[in-house]
Amino acid sequence: MEDPQTSATPAPPSCFNCKKLQTEFPKLLMRCAKCRTALYCSLECQKADWKSHKPTCHLPGSAPPPNPPQGPKDRHNPGFQAMNDMFGLSNDDFLHDRPEGEVFNLLIDSFRMRVEDEYVYGGNTIGIYNGDNTLPLFKEFLSLAESRQRLLPTWWSPVERRECERLAVDGSQWSDINCAVEKSDIQDHYNDNLMPMKLRILGEKIYGRGFM
């Protein structure tokens, strides 16, 4: 006689937050981008579960990330200077000589890329990954950009800044700070495999430090 324990079908996976089974959704559950273990049916469930999941979330085969070291050190990610020169960004004119709308989108997507990288590589939840209102964080990002010499186009003014802030939360365009974005999304949208790195370098120039 067949042992019912050995012939039983394994239970389908379920969302770590709402506990609904995979069979209840038309699409596959998404995995946590960092640990690749936790499963979620939506970004909302992922954000709701983060406080419970954070203590055990780390890269596969590694220990949880330690607290960042204190004291003077190179604050940029490894390879920043080489990539900065390779992509011709060392003159800080990446945003110059571009249409206004394109500059707004690049700033918005640089911010979105940074939020994603902080979560995936640094284990830091900010913005949508922490359930925060993302607009104040984006305003801080723009204020930092304004404090960097020659980084923004000469036509930038408080009027353009307000328009950029409005577009960032408009919800009708692809570049939206309330929507998560991954490296592959950026590559597909811009049809440029190197655009994620360019946006990361722009973000490092604005923040004055890397995410790692």
Question: In 37-133, which ranges are continuous DSSP H helix?
Answer: 43-53, 80-86, 100-120
For the ranges 6-15, 74-83, 135-144, the lowest mean pLDDT is seen at 74-83
31 versus 189: the higher-pLDDT residue is 189
115 versus 54: the higher-pLDDT residue is 115
Cβ atoms of 58 and 33 within 8 Å: the answer is no
Cβ atoms of 112 and 181 within 8 Å: the answer is yes
pLDDT computed for residue 98 by the predictor: 93
Q: What tokens were used for 9?
A: 């079908």
Cβ atoms of 206 and 148 within 8 Å: the answer is yes
Taking residues 192-208, what's their average pLDDT? Answer: 90
Q: How does residue 72 score in pLDDT terms, banded at 50, 70 and 90?
A: very low
Whether 82 has a pLDDT exceeding 70, the answer reads no
| Global pTM exceeds 0.85 | no
Q: How does residue 71 score in pLDDT terms, banded at 50, 70 and 90?
A: very low
Percent of the chain with pLDDT over 90: 36
Q: How does residue 110 score in pLDDT terms, banded at 50, 70 and 90?
A: very high
90 versus 158: the higher-pLDDT residue is 158
Cβ atoms of 146 and 156 within 8 Å: the answer is yes
Taking residues 88-95, what's their average pLDDT? Answer: 73
Whether 96 has a pLDDT exceeding 80, the answer reads yes
Task: Please choose, from the candidates 204, 211, 104, 186, the residue with its C-alpha nearest in 3D space to the C-alpha of residue 152.
Answer: 104
Taking residues 183-189, what's their average pLDDT? Answer: 94
Given CA atoms 131, 122, 38, 40 in this order, what sign does their dihedral have?
positive
Q: How does residue 169 score in pLDDT terms, banded at 50, 70 and 90?
A: very high
Whether 107 has a pLDDT exceeding 90, the answer reads yes
**pLDDT tens digits, residue range 126-152?**
888 877 789 999 999 999 999 988 899
